[in-house]
Amino acid sequence: MPKRGYHHGNLREALVESCLKLIEQKGPTGFSLSEAAREAGVTPAAVYRHFEGREDLIAEAALQGYEIFGDLMEHAYDGGKPSALSAFLATGRAYLAFANKFPGHYVAMFESGISIQRNPALNAAATRALGTLEKAAADLSEHIPSDKRPPAQMFSAHVWAMSHGVVELFARGSPGTKSPFPPDDLLETGIGIYLRGLGLIPPDH
């Protein structure tokens, strides 16, 4: 019997929670499945009833992360209200907020080496989440003359790369990369420069 009296239905979630805690402490490759079992208070054999191995467990953590991330992005986008510009900026802030609030999920999603093609559910969750940023970019791109308009997928990829870079370099305490500016300000001003270059906001904004 599991040491903490888990029922069959919530042992799986307890293992994911243990995985997330260990990811935050040791990184995605710094712990074993046995450690995840010990953290959850169960035997290693109990883990294998739910997950084939450590990568399978991390993939489940990534799936849950993408589902949370997708909800946050859709909430920030809010159907493009009150304007395409404000909705787009909100999705950038949501990316940073997610990384700050859910570091274990963030690492499982983006730093564990787990492909979003690993299974259909993970692919669908990732596609939905990242699709919101692309939709926000497409809405905003409509204000750019067609001959100067970058593809929405490229537009969103640029902002995703910028957001990811700010998170990796300045929002997660990486050694030697402390910035004199808050990560939120770095991202906001960086996106502002990018949007000014596309003519989407005036130079003095």
Whether the bond into 82 is cis, omega within 30 of 0: yes
Show me where the domains of the chain are located: 1-51, 55-197
pLDDT value of residue 4: 47
Per the prediction, the chain carries an average pLDDT of 86
pLDDT band at 118 (very low <50, low <70, confident <90, very high): very high
**Residue 74 and residue 132 in contact, taking contact as beta carbons nearer than 8 Å:** yes
pLDDT at residue 177 in the model: 58
Buried b (16+ CB within 10 A) or exposed e, 72-102: bbbebbeebeeebbebbbbbbbbbbebbeeb
Domain 55-197: homologous superfamily in CATH: Tetracycline Repressor, domain 2 (1.10.357.10)
Interval 104-118 mean pLDDT: 93
Domain 1-51 in this protein, CATH class:
mainly alpha
Task: Give pLDDT tens digits for 18-44.
Answer: 999 999 999 998 998 899 999 888 888
